[in-house]
């Protein structure tokens, strides 16, 4: 799976022969979508979106940019490829993306975060195991201004019983980031504010991890960020939005630390 994640990071647009998985019910989310069947290039399947929802913003482009940046930062986020739907699978627009399912067994974070479980010794172990990913995700969300983390499905726990070291928490769905409703326009990207985040998961946040991940963001070269954005095709991202995302992401790298220090 590590090799496959690296492959998806390097690639841009899916050329794969996907097939609808009609046995799985689509997830509830900001964008509609459908499950795709398992393939050698997606051993546990994938999720395509949007389908029945017509986007007025570059959702697929933002998903791909966020996934690529997360990979470069060593953050556990589902890999993404742009995907020309060709209006298959019920899609009403061509500009879609596919998100790779990384584990055979995936559970929403809330399944492991019940009040009774968290009061137990098992709950303490879960919080400790979650600290690295959850703390890093919180800082990542600040950087990309993600407005869609505070729900039941955008952090999941992937389990690999054959290789337990692969099990862990994973971030999903970053289309509502990098300036929703044009909020980054007119230098709006300069405002680093508290982003929605599940209150239950805040108990797993570790200040030292957050600062360490802040350093990773600061150390990410401007060139890396620019390449992630600039390589998105014009059909997925117009020139005005492209310039805005480059400016915002590059500039916000140096703004996250102060917010983290003031709000830990």
In the chain, CATH 1.10.1070 sits at: 105-263
> CA 235, 153, 113: angle at the middle one, nearest 5?
155
Q: Where is pLDDT greater, at 185 or 52?
A: 185
By mean pLDDT, which of 92-106, 115-129, 220-234 is the weakest? Answer: 115-129
Mean pLDDT, rounded, for 56-61: 94
By mean pLDDT, which of 127-136, 160-169, 192-201 is the weakest? Answer: 160-169
Q: Where is pLDDT greater, at 192 or 129?
A: 192
**34-36 and 80-84 beta bridge pairing:** unpaired
State which fold the 105-263 domain adopts: 1.10.1070
Predicted confidence at residue 179, as pLDDT, reads 96
pLDDT of 116 over the 60 cut: no
First to last CA, the chain: 34
What is the reported pTM? 0.93
Q: What are phi and psi of 36, to 5 degrees?
A: -115, 150
Q: How far apart are CA 158 and CA 149, in angstroms?
A: 17
pLDDT of 25 over the 90 cut: no
The answer to whether the CB of 48 falls within 8 A of the CB of 98 is yes
Predicted confidence at residue 133, as pLDDT, reads 92
The answer to whether the CB of 155 falls within 8 A of the CB of 171 is yes
DSSP string, 163-201: SGGG-EEEE---SS-SSGGGTTTTTGGG---PPP--HHH
264's tokens: 């830990």
Predicted confidence at residue 28, as pLDDT, reads 64
Residue 121 — very low, low, confident or very high, per pLDDT cuts 50/70/90? Answer: low
């Amino acid at each position: 799976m590590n090799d496959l994640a690296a492959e998806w990071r390097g690639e841009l647009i899916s050329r794969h022969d996907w097939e609808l998985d009609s046995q799985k019910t689509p997830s509830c989310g900001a964008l509609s979508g459908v499950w795709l069947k398992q393939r050698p290039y997606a051993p546990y399947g994938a999720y395509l979106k949007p389908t029945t929802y017509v986007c007025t913003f570059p959702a697929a482009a933002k998903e791909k940019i966020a996934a690529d940046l997360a990979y470069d930062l060593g953050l556990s986020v589902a890999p993404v490829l742009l995907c020309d739907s060709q209006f298959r699978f019920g899609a009403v627009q061509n500009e879609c993306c596919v998100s790779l399912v990384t584990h055979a067994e995936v559970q929403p974070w809330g399944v492991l975060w019940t009040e009774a479980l968290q009061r137990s010794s098992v709950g303490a172990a879960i919080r400790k195991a979650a600290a690295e990913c959850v703390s890093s995700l919180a800082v990542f969300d600040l950087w990309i201004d993600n407005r869609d983390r505070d729900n039941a499905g955008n952090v999941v726990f992937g389990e690999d019983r054959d290789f337990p070291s692969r099990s862990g928490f994973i971030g999903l769905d970053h289309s509502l980031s990098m300036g929703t409703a044009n909020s980054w326009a007119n230098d709006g990207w300069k405002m680093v504010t508290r982003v929605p985040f599940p209150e239950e998961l805040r108990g797993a946040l570790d200040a030292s991890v957050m600062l360490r991940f802040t350093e990773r963001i600061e150390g990410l070269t401007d060139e890396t960020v620019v390449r992630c954005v600039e390589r998105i095709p014009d059909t997925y991202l117009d020139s005005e939005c492209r310039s805005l995302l480059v400016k915002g992401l590059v500039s916000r790298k140096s703004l996250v630390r102060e917010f983290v220090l003031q709000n830990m």
